[in-house]
Amino acid sequence: MSIGVRSSPYWPVVSHPQLGRVLPGLVVSALGDGMSLVAVTWLALQLAPDAHRATWVAVAVAAYSAT
């Protein structure tokens, strides 16, 4: 690694052994959340009538975000 990375004030946190075990799980969880949002939006687009697609997508995303 370069010297600039190790001089960062975040280096002690990022290099902590316990965080090294938790961080991959957080990344996978965030990826799953993003994929779920895309799936909900896509499903709303597929099910909505042509004239009301924007409303259906807005309601679906709002309902997903509220939970």
Q: Give the pLDDT confidence of 22-46 residue by residue, as tens digits.
A: 988 999 999 999 999 999 999 999 9
Residues 6+ apart with CB under 8 A from 44: 53, 56, 57, 59, 60, 61
> How much is the average pLDDT of 9-34?
89
Q: Does the pTM of the predicted model rise above 0.85?
A: no
- Please tell me the predicted confidence (pLDDT) of residue 43: 96
Cα(41)–Cα(53) distance, rounded to whole angstroms? 10
- Please tell me the predicted confidence (pLDDT) of residue 2: 57
- Please tell me the predicted confidence (pLDDT) of residue 14: 82
